[in-house]
Structure 1
Amino acid sequence: MSPEKMDLSHIRCVVFDYGFSLSSGLYFNVSPPGMTDWEERVQRAVFRGNDDTITDPWMRGEIGLVEIAGLLAREIGLDAEEVLWYLRQGCTDLGFNEAVYEFARRVHCSPLKSALVTANMDVFSDVVVPSHGLDDLFDVIVNSADVGTCDKTVLWPLAFNSLGCGISYRDSLLIEDGEKNPAAFRKLGGMAHQYLGEGEFCGWLDGVDFGENGSVAPSSASSQKRV
């Protein structure tokens, strides 16, 4: 006897996280000619291991990619405009986690509403979204850099308000990696699934009952590919 499926038939909205949920592709993947250590240089100059003195203000919109390019240019001895071009170009062709992307596509084609809510930098809104057509895939996109805070408990309600129709936590599902934000979403009254990888996600989808919207999660989810 097959196990009883998780009942999500009341869900009217699916909220997606971006980094390591919808996509695990790394930014800035195009390097200047001959600079084989480009990614390491970017990591050292900008991300600095666990030092958030640059990334946190960047994700709050307090600094932008232009300032980052200037910082990196001084570190590696290139013209800031040239560095800016490569930084932007390196965000135009990013990979997606296929099962999550396909689920997002099916949600978009269903009566359900969808939102992409991310703690991210200005380059996400300016380059990643238009380059990958994400504004055509999601009804609403909320990026921390456009709002001024990385607190998802502030960002999620902004998405709900933009979606309208009285959508709130109680009729929404979150798809996000990590433990903290899914736990917070549940505590606020929503449903959440912690993304742990493609195989696990496909298996989880097979065990979910979306009621009248069951077509968003077919049993063949594991075989779907982005087109």
Structure 2
Amino acid sequence: MMLNFFDQFMSPIYLGIPLMALALTLPWVLYPAPSQRWINNRLLTLQNWSINRFTHQLFMPISPGGHKWAILLTALMAFLFTINVLGLLPYTFTPTTQLSLNMGFAIPLWLATVILGMRNQPTMSLGHLLPEGTPLPLIPVLIIIETISLFIRPLALGVRLTANLTAGHLLIQLIATAVFVLLSIMPAVALLTATVLFLLTLLEVAVAVIQAYVFVLLLSLYLQENV
């Protein structure tokens, strides 16, 4: 029996092996490898079409200098989407509910965009810290505020993904517990609660997909400012 609702977010260990490592490698096993044939099966065709459409949509507003990031960001989107959705299955673990993992994705990628901007266009990158036409007395204050907002970006990326998935999982756990408790006492109420649980699960699937997309979209916007 679960003593604490937050126990579901602890990284499970089996025979001394952290299962989080298995959860992180599982998505790459599920996707079919590209084929050299002229005609592919339906699954591979759908996968290629989805990846091409997503990459085109994501990098359309970005200048050609940032298109080198296409493979990285598309793979990150597929990875986050897969582990978010797989974490909704029973008896599974969602690695993206761990803030340490999300920050491990957010900080290096955000820092890479900042370094890229400082190297390629230092004047424009530093110009983001001070809006044009700022009155002279407000310049020091605005520079401090914009610098803080710049350094808080990776924290916002990681916390947003963690908080949304954690809140959804907790809500599903609470409502599922209520269904089991009410089943023997008030079956009609339990049936109504189970309907709400089913709708919430569908919503959580949408949240898992949207949060993966938002994470990568924000990274692409940071990249767009620095290329």
Tell me the TM-score normalized by structure 1. Answer: 0.23
- Judging by fraction of residues, say which structure has more strand: 1
Whichever structure has more helix as a proportion of its residues is 2
Q: Pick the structure with greater CA Rg.
A: 2
Q: TM-score, normalised by structure 2?
A: 0.23
